[in-house]
Structure 1
Amino acid sequence: MRREDLADLTIFLAVAEEGSFTGAAKKLGLSQSSLSHTLRRLETRLGLRLLTRTTRSVAVTEAGERLLDILQPALSGIEERLSDLNEYRERPAGTIRISLSEHAAESVLWPAIDRLITKYPDINIELNVDNGFVDIVSQKFDAGVRMGERVEKDMISVRIGPTLRMAAFASPSYIARNGIPTTPKDLANHRCINMRFVSGGSIYGWEFEKSGGEIAVKVDGQLVLNCTPLIIKAALAGHGIGFLIEDVVREHMGTGALVPLLQDWCEPFDGYHLYYPTRRQASLAFRLLVDELRYRV
């Protein structure tokens, strides 16, 4: 393959992924006319139409989709191999992208990252906070963070946090008006504060466990939120029952501002794990981060 062929294919990949010449031009630092000329040249050389152009957008043709299936893993592999060269620098370097939840970022990741970037100024960290489930491979993240039991079997998993438990809670004023649920099924008669995942758009299902028995409950209420601090504010204001990781509301429960509910149905469970694809060639920077995060009892 000629050097200019690889450059043209890289430009096609950028346009296809961005869905526009404007976005690709901004990403690559090139002019739109230059990109358009390059794509026409590539299509002529291959004898195939790769893109369908309109005044507002760019769509990939069937032939273009086939080419993307070839290019994406190939160029991703090249990027990983190039990042491995950072090991030969005098100081560890590189960018690490991680997808994780808000609570994991604040309670587990940030303390370790604070230490790591202080020691290694050439290591860059990008955290994408999303309480939903993200496909880290298709979204090109180096790793993700999930509860241990939810990590796919084909991933390498490293425990990075202690055992956790969920907590249902409400304000004293809400309890005075509506009473206390004694089982998860009683929540059907209460106003609950739901959480919607940003990425997938689904609403989080409340899960309880007692003596090995599990129960999932669909709850209703006036509020659906996607931000933990707002859920806490809503509960403090008496607008319903919330359901979050206990650590987040422990201080409020300690002062009596929030009352724990259904405690015997909230058993401890496996905490946070960092996970990444088995095929990933870990760079020195990534290995240093894993070691910094590794949970040691």
Structure 2
Amino acid sequence: MKENLNDLRTFLVVARTGSFTKAGAQLGVSQSAVSYAIRGIEERLKIKLFHRTTRSISTTEAGEQLYQRLLPLFEGIDREIDELGTFLGELRGTLRINATELTFSVLWEKFDRFLNAYPSVNLELSGDTRFIDIVAEQFDASIRLGSDVEKDMIAVRISDDLAMCTVASPAYLAQYGEPKTPEELANHQCLQLRLPINGGILDWAFTDPTSQETVKIQPQGRFIANTNSILINACLSGVGVMWMPYHLVEDHIASGELVPILREWNKHYEGFHLYYPNRRENSPLLKALVESLRG
């Protein structure tokens, strides 16, 4: 029995998202159309592919087996079609990249260069702080600090180390003084970043200039935000002291709006790495992206 390939693609999206509604939104069709397609597959195959409740959808054992076997096949079809563009002397296709919002802001100029160099390539960037299974969620690659990735992944360094810094406005320092060690920050208003996943507050990390050991503190203060841009505005207004990637505030430092403090304690993190499944190492699209990001 031959199955409808569009219905099978619908099945893959439902299995990945766990939702008829989300699948419909991604496919550009109604929720009822998705439900109809899945019901049709199950009736033709005479087997239940999903457990359905009023709150969730999950694959049955048979559905999960079908998902795991179909996914690489459809990825292979898409890849072969995309690579036909090489006969026309151009790259075609879509790349879905997962990283944090901070990562994309650091690397934006490189992504912009990639888009200009390959006008027939579609690029989707998804900002997320989670460490996800990029295969299960159908991303082509992800970017994170450091090179520690799962054993079946290839990691490629694409940036210099990330430098952190601690800053405050001249008005704040004139009123409250300048801390000389991270421990003295306990006497200051620290601008805190609320983490989006578990709701915790981001710890601040420093490198001891004598021992080179990492020193972490839990910042305390009366101002909390969940984005760096809001924290920067608060810092410029003199609300408190901020710990931030240097590149996000270097223009404010150059203009004198913010003053770097605790310079000898600045922490550096290993640069950003692009990682992807080793079965994709020969992908022309990924090779082109790596070249752009490493440039």
Range of TM-score over shorter length? 0.7 to 0.9
Describe the shift of the 1:266–1:150 C-alpha distance in structure 2 as closer, same or farther (beyond 3 A).
farther
Q: CA deviation at 1:140?
A: 2.2
Query: Relative to structure 2, which stretch is displaced further, 176-185 or 208-217?
Result: 176-185
Question: % of aligned pairs identical?
Answer: 40
Structure 1 unaligned regions, length at least 5: none
Q: CA deviation at 1:27?
A: 4.0
Name the counterpart of 1:209.
Answer: 207
Q: Mean alpha-carbon deviation: is it higher for 13-22 or for 284-293?
A: 13-22
2:196 maps to which residue?
Answer: 198
Runs of 4+ deviating beyond 6 Å: none
Contact 1:133–1:199 under 8 Å retained in 2: no
Matching of residue 121 in structure 1 with residue 126 in structure 2 = no
Q: Which residue of 1 aligns with 2:158?
A: 160
Distance 2:201 2:179 in 1: 21
- Structure 2: stretches of 5+ with no match in the other structure: none
The corresponding residue for 2:168 is 170
Q: Structure 1's 204 and 57: CA in aligned 2 closer, same or farther, altered over 3 A?
A: same
Could you report, residue by residue, the CA deviation over 1:199-248 in whole angstroms, capped at 9, with x for unpaired residues? 55443221111342112222122222232221111111122211111122
Whole-angstrom CA distance in 1 between matches of 2:20 and 2:83: 31
Letter of the 1:92 counterpart: L
Task: State yes or no: 1:94 paired with 2:93.
Answer: yes
Q: For structure 1, which segment, 160-169 or 38-47, has the greater mean C-alpha deviation from structure 2 after superposition? A: 38-47
> For the Cα contact (< 8 Å) 1:87–1:283, is it kept in 2?
no
Contact between 1:86 and 1:283, CA under 8 Å: does it hold in 2?
no
CA separation in 2, counterparts of 1:98 and 1:75?
18
| Secondary structure, counterpart of 2:280 in structure 1 | coil
SS of equivalent to 1:238? coil
Tell me the CA shift for residue 61 of structure 1: 5.2
- Paired with 1:225 and 1:33, the residues of 2 have a C-alpha distance of 39
Does structure 2 retain, via aligned residues, the 8 Å contact 1:147–1:272? Answer: yes
Matched residue, 1:106: 105
Contact 1:51 1:58 in 2 (8 A): no
Contact 2:15 2:59 in 1 (8 A): no
Aligned to 1:146: 144
Q: Which amino acid aligns with 1:273?
A: H
Match of 2:270, SS state, is: coil
Answering whether residue 237 of structure 2 is matched by residue 232 of structure 1, we say: no
8 Å CA contact 2:252–2:258 kept in 1: the answer is yes
1:4 paired residue number: 3
Shift of 1:266: 0.8
Give the aligned CA root-mean-square deviation in angstroms.
3.1
Alpha-carbon distance between aligned partners in 2 of 1:9 and 1:158, rounded to the nearest angstrom: 33
Letter in 2 for 1:232: I
Superimposed CA distance per residue, residues 180-211 of structure 1 (whole angstroms, 9 cap, x where no aligned partner): 32222232333211223335544322111134
* Structure 1 match to 2:241: 241
Structure 1 residues 18 and 273: alpha-carbon distance in aligned structure 2, compared to 1, 3 A threshold: closer
Letter in 2 for 1:145: I
Letter in 2 for 1:147: L
Distance in 1 of aligned mates of 2:98 and 2:85 = 23
Alignment partners' CA distance in 1, 2:94 and 2:128: 19
Report how many residues are paired: 292
**8 Å contact 1:143–1:276 — kept in the other structure?**
yes
* Residues 132 and 197 in structure 1, CA contact (< 8 A), matched pair in contact too: no
- Superposed, which structure 2 residues align to 1:74-89 within 5 Å? 74-89=73-88
